[in-house]
Structure 1
């Protein structure tokens, strides 16, 4: 068992993430209706320039481009496989001419123009946490622009194990307080429901397990299956009852 866990840790993280999100391309615990509602609050005019820091396969941007013919978008991510999938999906949807993708670290991205809407949902780890993500987003934000950010919070006091697994977060009130203290004004928010939280975890572990079972000849199959088992065990026994997720639509004070 210990050896299998070590092998799981050696599986390429980007490949594992791409496989795990096969059935849930929005890399956060949100259903389709929640994504639509959040975009409605962030994209108000329909001609905005969007930027997604940590876009993955650009699911948020593809949704916005499909719903708003006047929107243009750029996405930033370090996974070439995810960006290739994004390009293919954009071509299939007929929005590829309005989507530009950059393979680079989010904190190293530079653009000659600002953006009306900056998104970063479920990627705050790349910027050292929620406030670091907001600082990075602000650097790209046009005056009067909007940020859509998603991050974890504690639903209830976590166990020591949960803290060790996920790191340090605040409860909801403290999370909002520290955002407001930095000069941001929440204009909308969504708290992921129990169904959304559970559905995301079952999709993550299930997609990875299904791929491993369907591709037993792949050298990564045993590691993928073990990674799914380990993740599922940590979720069910470690943090399911204490983990929450909030998406905030923010403007500057």
Structure 2
């Protein structure tokens, strides 16, 4: 089973691909204070929860959602139709770096900074899609506490891959932004996300005995060990609302 299919199944019960609750998504998007007829872009949209919530909050908005995996885009399409938002939405199956379609009032990349190679690279790339004074919404990990060597090995990470919270804000702003709001995920949101991630996979594995089920079970248990025995309480997550200044 391919890695992206494992991730797709894992997000069945928590389609927000980040340790953020649905209420928090609404809270953050309200802080964007978008004007009339806003254009919204979601890079690495996954199931499109952020995109659809933004459209539901702004009846005159239009949005483009970009992802390299068809499964997430199809889920987004189905939910858009169910919510009557499909006329406001265009889906794009393409790499983030290849997408260009004018300028936007709000560009989002939450939990998908790997699409550009990191936080600073993402902040710079999103700026190319923004109108002057437009907003970028970026969700990124940070070190709640300094990781020990064992945790770094477990995550396959380097010490400098993430900064602490202050350093994360500085990295984002160095690309030409001012942080106008930020939300730091609570441990309960992390736990809900991780139990949903591993639980969805384990439920699927039980319902699909055989090689694919075995692969899903192994992935769930490995991830759970990495979380419970490694980065729980060490790796944090912050969603930054950034206003373009240059």
The TM-score bracket by the shorter chain reads over 0.9
> Residue 175 of structure 1: which of 168, 174, 196 is its match?
168
Q: 1:132 to 1:239 in 2, by over 3 A?
A: same
How far apart, CA to CA, are the structure 1 residues paired with 2:156 and 2:75?
28
Answering whether residue 81 of structure 2 is matched by residue 88 of structure 1, we say no
Unaligned runs of 5+ in 1: 1-10
Establish whether residue 230 from structure 1 lines up as the match of residue 222 from structure 2. Answer: yes
2:141 is aligned to 152
The two structures, once aligned, show a CA RMSD in angstroms of 1.2
- Aligned-partner SS, 1:19: helix
After superposing on structure 2, the runs of 4+ consecutive aligned residues of structure 1 that deviate more than 6 Å are none
- Tell me the distance in 2 between the aligned counterparts of 1:132 and 1:84: 28
Q: Shift in Å at residue 162 of structure 1?
A: 2.3
The corresponding residue for 1:5 is none
Alpha-carbon separation, structure 2, partners of 1:85 and 1:31: 19
2:92 maps to 102
Structure 2 unaligned segments of length 5 or more: list them: none
Partner SS for 1:220: helix
Aligned to 1:187: 180
Q: Give yes or no for the alignment of 1:126 onto 2:115.
A: yes
Number of the residue aligned with 2:206: 213
Alignment partner, residue 76 of structure 1 = 66
Which of 25, 41, 47 is residue 35 of structure 1 equivalent to?
25
TM, length-normalised to structure 2: 0.94
Q: 1:214 to 1:47 in 2, by over 3 A?
A: same
For the 8 Å contact 1:43–1:117, the answer to whether it is kept is no
